[in-house]
Structure 1
Amino acid sequence: METLQIGRAKLTWLNGGVNFLDGGAMFGVVPKALWGKKYPYNDKNQIELRTDPILLQMDGKNYLIESGMGNGKLTDKQIRNFGVLEESSVDHSLAALGLSADNIDALLMTHLHFDHACGLTKPVRNGYASVFQNAVIYASQVEWDEMRKPNIRSANTYWEMNWKPIQDQVQPFENERTITDGLKMIHTGGHSDGHSILLFEDGDETLIHMADIMPTHAHQNKLWALAYDDYPVTSVHQKEKWMNYGYQKRAWYTFYHDAYYRAIKFDGSGERVDQVKRERYAYEDHR
C-alpha cells in the first residue's frame, strides 16, 4: 500500500476495487485523439479506474476518504455494465495495518454515487448493515438530500441500500465543515449538485482532494469535464478555482480513481514536481 506524509497527516491508499468505464464518458466532449494520449485505454475504449479509499491518520484519529466499491452488493448485470473486475477488500487492507472498520472515526464522503458509497454498507441476513459502525459520516446537505430523494437521472447511482442503514451516522453540512484543525470539506457542486472537495493545510504543506472534479491525473486540464457531470460548467469553474489555489500553494492533489498515480504535486505554473505512483498488480494484464 502506498503512503504519503503531508504535514502531520499520513495517507495510505487501501484496496477498494477496480472497474472499467467508457473513456469517452469519462472525458466528455474531449476527442479521443487528445485524451488517449493522457490515459491508457483498452480495445473497448474503456479506461481503468480504481475506487480506492484513502486512510488519513492524524492527531490520533483514523479518517477514511470515500468507502470503495463495496462487496457482494452488485448484480451480475451491474458488474458487467460497470466493468467491475474486482470488488473491495478494504477490510484486508485495514487488517494489514493492524486496524478494522471499527477503528475508523469518520468517513469523508465527497459525494454518494454508488462507486463511492457502496462500501458504507454490507449485506446481512435481513438486508444491509453499516460497515463502519463507530464512524461519523460527513457529506454535504445537498448530497444527502438527493441521496434519499434522487431525481430521474440520479436514481441510477443513489441507492437506498447505501444510505438507509447509515442514516443515523450522517452529519450533513451546508457550505463547508471543519473536520479537525487544518482539514475541511467544501461543497463545490459540479459532478453532482452536492459534490465536495477536501482541503488540508498544515504550515507550508497543502493537500487538495478534488474527487470527481479531477478524478485522474489526465483530467488536469480545467476544461476537461466528465459526461457524467450533472453540472459540467460548475465543474470547470470549480476546477479552475481550486487548481489555481493549489498551484500557488504547491499543493499535493490526491486521487481515488486514478489507476496510475496516487498523488501529484504541481508548482505555480501547473508543472509536475513530485508524484506517488501506484503499485501495479497482476490482474492489470487484462487491460
Structure 2
Amino acid sequence: MEIRQLMYFIAVAEELHFGRAAKRLGMTQPPLSQQIFKLEEYLEVKLFHRTKRKVVLTEAGHYFYKESVKINRNLHSIIQNTKLIDNGMLGTLKIGFGPDYGTLTKILKIYEQHHPNVQLQLEQMPTAEQLMALEKKEIHIGLLPGPIKKKNIESNVVAEHPYKVALPISHPLAKEVGGIDLQQLKDENFIMTPREIGPAYYDTIINICNTAGFHPHISKRTHELQTIIPLIAANMGIAIVPELVNYFNREEVVFLPIKNCDITMKNCIAWNVEARSPMIDLFIELVKSIK
C-alpha cells in the first residue's frame, strides 16, 4: 500500500464520485479507479459499493476513511515538524548555566519569543561541570565564564561584569562607598570557590590580589559562587565577586567598587563544535545579535 493510495481513497470517500475526485486530484478517472481497485485488493476488503448512479462507502469503508483521515492529519504534522527540526525551530535545547541569572533571563526571554516551539531544558552547574557536559555532548549550550580555550569548544562573550568587594555590613570598611583599595584587605579572610570548580574565576581573583601586592588568605571554600553571600552575611569572611552576584544580595552584605581595577568577568555562551545542529546554530546567531 502506498501513501498516495490513501490520498486517492480519501478524495473518493469525500466526493463519492470518481469523476469529481479525479478532478480534485488533478488526474483522469481511469488511473484513479485502478488505484482504488489495487488498494481494495491489498486490503482484501471492498471499500465502496459502486453502481452506475452512485458510489457509497461500505461499513468497512466508513471505518477505513475515519482512520485514513487521522493518518493523513498525523502525516501532515510529521512533515511539518520534520521541516521545523531541519530548520532548528523544534526540539529540546539543553542549556547549562552558572550564577549569571540576569544574562540568562535576558537571553531566554528573547529566544522564546523567536522560537516558542523549542523546549528549553536548563541545568545549573559549576563551570567545570559545564565544560565536561559540553565535551560529552550532554548539553548543547553552556553559559559560563570565559573565553574558553579548548580545541573542540568555541565561545562568544555575551556579558561583562566588573568585580566588587563583598563585605558584611558590620565591617569597618563597609561605608567606603567611594571604593576599596585592595591593600586594605591583605589581612582579611577570603571566601572563594575551589579552582577545580571554576578556574577562570579563581585565577582572576588571585591575579587581582597579587597585582595589589598580596596573596589572599582563603579561610572558607564553597562550591557555588552565590553561596558566598550568606557566608559573608554570617561574618565568616569577605570576597571579591563579579557584580552579577548582586542578584543574590542580602541586607547584611554590601558590595563596593575596587579602586584601580578594570578587570571584568566575561561570561560566554559556549558550544561543542562537533555537536553543531540547526537548532544550536540559531541559538548562537540570536544571542550574538542581542545588544
User: Larger RCO: Structure 1 or Structure 2 (Cα < 8 Å, ≥ 6 residues apart)?
Assistant: 2
Specify which structure has the higher proportion of helix: 2
Q: Is the structural similarity TM-score above 0.5?
A: no
Q: State TM-score, norm by structure 2.
A: 0.22
Higher Cα Rg, which structure: 2
Q: State TM-score, norm by structure 1.
A: 0.22
Specify which structure has the higher proportion of strand: 1
